[in-house]
Amino acid sequence: THKKLRISEAFSSQLGANVTVQGWVRSARAQKVNVFLHVNDGSSLQSLQVVAGAELNDPLLTFGSAVEVSGILQESPHEKQPLELQADSIRVIGECDPVDFPFKVKKRHGLEYIRQFPHLRCRTNAFSSLLRIRSEATSAIHSYFKDNGFVQIHTPIITSNDCEGAGELFQVEPAGADEHFFSVPAFLTVSGQLHLEATAGAFSKVYTFGPTFRAENSQSRRHLAEFYMVEAEISFTQSMEDLTKVMEDMFRSATEHVLARCVEDVDLFHRHVTPGHRVFLSFVLLSSLRITYTEAVDILTRSSEQFAFPSDWGCDLKTEHEKYLVKHCGNVPVFVTDYPYDLKPFYARDNQDGPRHTAAAVDLLVPGVGELCGGSLREERLSVLRARLEQLGLEDAYSWYLDLRRFGSAPHGGFGLGFERYLQCLLGVDNIKDVIPFPRFSRSCLL
Ligand code: 4AD
Ligand code: MG
């Protein structure tokens, strides 16, 4: 009798054990006496070497085919792996035409090539490593919040508000409907922030981590129409310093967790897919800087001739500006705080300062990616918030939001982190479409 094991489990099993594994052939080589296979089942980057007598050879044992192998674990003559499987039976479960299969044995296909095959690219080492890292990073982020006393809230995916006020909404209605299903127009969420604010008013520290949708038309390397956002909201937060500290802690703690748990996968990435990035990353984890928007604009104006977009006080920072600032600051993460009041959504806290009127908002900029997180202290003062909503003509739509300030309002703040941008930063991946299993962006909704 053979024990059915995942390949990662087989690697830590006793020599001499009788086991069955199932997986996909990563290489097949037949010699006169023996057949050698490498079988991978996604449980780890390592494939299990299978050795069989030539009588077990089958022409259908080709790269990509699905197989079940039973045999005995024995010591491997190769240094690189601790053991191999001496097979007494090999069954081809699903064949794979090696001519049509888009990936070839022993070839390192680039991320751009494999992106053409979203349904198959997880069969490559690079993309399967990426998805294992993504899965571990998800756990790392949940662990961070759990260990720090946050309550996870499932904020709704369908909502009637446009939290960011940017009008990048996807509307939700039943196919072919001629009246609103929910009586009011409803949309896919662009941010769970407002629902988090409501719950922060009871739990003090809350977070959410889920899909987020934006009808952005841009074909950039850092925007998707569907992405995952991590959002946190913390009551009794008095200062920007309190808020940036949580952002920094989460970034560090999650990164250290992933680097410790995904050694082989991260190593594959940093050696073969995005060489040189690891050294850079450990440097990034050492320190971060804090500058105000006004200081940032001073830095930019000194080199304004380099930019396509204006960098005067009052202008939003564009990608080119963000990249320049990060470089200027020595390629470490930079917090930019206190943006012009008029650039920020209604919820941002009014700093009530001079002619250069600012809000207590913050962006975290990181090397290679630019904006990784956006956050702010929220306007907790009823009269200030009401005046702003009235000015924007939003006081009726947000009467429930004003209630949060009428009934036990407390100073609070929060932020959102783009999970895909985090993975780009961690692994040095240039294009955001290469860090999500099935990317959705304008003019593309494959599968
Ligand atoms: O800066 P944003 O728009 O902030 C908010 O939505 C706040 N309501 C969050 C909060 O305070 N709770 O988005 C937050 C982050 C950005 O910094 C960016 O990393 C990511 O979400 N992001 C995107 N990632 C991929 N594709 C897009 N289209 C993105 N738009 C934003
Ligand atoms: Mg932003």
pLDDT at site 342: 95
For residues 161 and 347, the answer to whether their CB atoms sit within 8 Å is no
Which ligand is nearest the CA of 422, by number?
1
Q: What is the arithmetic mean of pLDDT over 364-379?
A: 95
Q: Which is the closest atom of ligand 1 to the Cα of 196?
A: 12
Ramachandran area for residue 208 (φ above 0: left; ψ -120 to 50: alpha; else beta): beta
Task: Pick the range with the lowest mean pLDDT from 30-39, 279-288, 297-306, 384-393.
Answer: 279-288
Please give the domain boundaries of the chain with CATH numbers for all domains: 3-106 (2.40.50.140), 121-434 (3.30.930.10)
Q: What is the arithmetic mean of pLDDT over 95-114?
A: 92
Cα(374) to centroid(ligand 1), Å: 6
Q: What is the arithmetic mean of pLDDT over 178-184?
A: 95
List CB-based neighbours of ion ligand 2 within 5 Å: 374
pLDDT at site 45: 95
Give residue for tokens 């990426």: 130
pLDDT (tens digit, 9 = 90+) per residue, 122-140? 999 999 999 999 999 999 9
* Both tokens assigned to 416: 């959102």
pLDDT at site 218: 78
Q: What is the arithmetic mean of pLDDT over 217-229?
A: 92
DSSP for residue 3: E
Ligand 1, pocket-test mutation among 170, 191, 209, most atoms within 8 A of CB: 191
Average pLDDT, the chain: 94
Ligand 1, pocket-test mutation among 240, 322, 421, 432, most atoms within 8 A of CB: 421
- What torsion, rounded to 10 degrees, do the Cα atoms 103, 107, 108, 110 define? -50
- Grouping H, G, I as helix, E, B as strand and the rest as coil, residue 226 is strand
pLDDT (tens digit, 9 = 90+) per residue, 37-95? 999 999 999 999 999 999 999 999 999 999 999 999 999 988 778 899 999 999 999 99
Task: Pick the range with the lowest mean pLDDT from 90-94, 273-277, 283-287.
Answer: 283-287
* Both tokens assigned to 307: 């930019």
* pLDDT of 246 strictly over 80: yes
DSSP for residue 316: P
Cβ atoms within 10 Å of 264's Cβ, excluding its own: 12
pLDDT at site 80: 78
Cα(302) to centroid(ligand 2), Å: 24
pLDDT (tens digit, 9 = 90+) per residue, 317-357? 999 999 999 999 988 899 999 999 999 999 999 999 989 99
* pLDDT of 390 strictly over 90: yes
**78 burial level (CB within 10 Å; 0-12, 13-18, 19+):** exposed
Cα(163) to centroid(ligand 2), Å: 12
Q: Write the residue with the smallest CA distance to atom 21 of ligand 1.
A: 418
For residues 248 and 256, the answer to whether their CB atoms sit within 8 Å is no
Q: Residue 205 corresponds to which amino acid?
A: K
Q: What is the pTM of this model?
A: 0.96
* pLDDT of 279 strictly over 70: no
Q: Which H helix or E strand runs over 39?
A: strand 34-40
Which ligand is nearest the CA of 228, by number?
1
Q: Which is the closest atom of ligand 1 to the Cα of 216?
A: 28
Share of the chain above pLDDT 70, in %: 99
DSSP for residue 273: I
* pLDDT of 151 strictly over 90: yes
Q: What is the arithmetic mean of pLDDT over 297-311?
A: 93
For residues 284 and 327, the answer to whether their CB atoms sit within 8 Å is no
For residues 411 and 384, the answer to whether their CB atoms sit within 8 Å is no
d(CA 132, CA 275): 19
CA distances in angstroms from 22 to 25, 87, 121, 256, listed in the order given: 10, 12, 19, 32
Measured from CB, residues less than 6 Å from any atom of ligand 1 are 163-164, 191, 193, 214, 216, 223-224, 227, 229, 231, 371-375, 414-416, 418, 420-421
pLDDT band, residue 379 (cuts 50/70/90): very high
* pLDDT of 296 strictly over 90: yes
Q: Which is the closest atom of ligand 1 to the Cα of 374?
A: 1
Q: Which is the closest atom of ligand 1 to the Cα of 363?
A: 17
Q: Tell me how far apart the terminal alpha carbons of the chain are, to the nearest angstrom.
A: 41
- Nearest by Cα to 89 from 25, 180, 18: 18
d(CA 14, CA 16): 6
Q: Which is the closest atom of ligand 1 to the Cα of 190?
A: 6
Ligand 1, pocket-test mutation among 229, 335, 420, most atoms within 8 A of CB: 229
The Cα angle at residue 177 between residues 173 and 178, in degrees rounded to 5: 115
* pLDDT of 285 strictly over 90: no
